[in-house]
Amino acid sequence: MYYYDTCSIYKECDVHIFVLNFLKIKDLNKKISRRDILCGLIEYLEENKDVLKIENDKRSFKIINELRIFFENCLFVAHSREEYINIPSIMSYSQLTQYVKYCIILPIDIYYDSEEYLINQKKFINTISEELLAFVLFPDHISYWIHLGHDVNLRNFSNIK
């Protein structure tokens, strides 16, 4: 087991590309604090509350679209660290903090800091649709492609009904 608290809530740390992309930060060398990550997630939830809201429950939200991609990347990082976690389809605000540790880069992590990888990751995220997320049989593979920033040909999924 690795010690994750080497980075306090306010200390700025190196983060994975998918975090910078989610927070819409273009500087690949930018260090982000855990607080900034949580604030970015909460800001996203507020901006998309109409789509993510659960009827009669103000404390929970759906994990779909870009938020799903973000958490699948966290899942990929966890698996690469030999930790096996699940991403629920509905999450509460209090559960957000347990995933932040997968945003911070540890010495054992696979990390690609190339601008080319980030551009390919953005292409993939811009191309992916909710329909694709619903029909993908192997979400771990999608997470792997997103995390590594591979350009994925989505035409194979366009005929799925």
pLDDT-derived band of residue 160, with 50, 70 and 90 as boundaries? very low
C-alpha triplet 55, 61, 64: angle, nearest 5°: 115
Beta strands in 11-127 (DSSP E): 12-13, 32-33, 53-54, 57-62, 90-92
User: Model pTM greater than 0.95?
Assistant: no
Q: In the numeric block, which tokens belong to residue 8?
A: 């306090």
Summarize the confidence of residues 123-142 as an average pLDDT: 48
**pLDDT higher for 7 or 21?**
21
Count Cβ atoms within 10 A of the Cβ of residue 49 and give its class: 0-12 exposed, 13-18 middle, 19 or more buried: exposed
Q: In the numeric block, which tokens belong to residue 5?
A: 């608290």
Q: What is the pLDDT of residue 134?
A: 44
> Can you give the residue ranges of every domain in the chain?
12-149
Percent of the chain with pLDDT over 90: 37
pLDDT digits (tens, 9 = 90+) for 16-65: 888 999 999 988 889 999 999 999 999 999 999 999 999 888 899 999 98
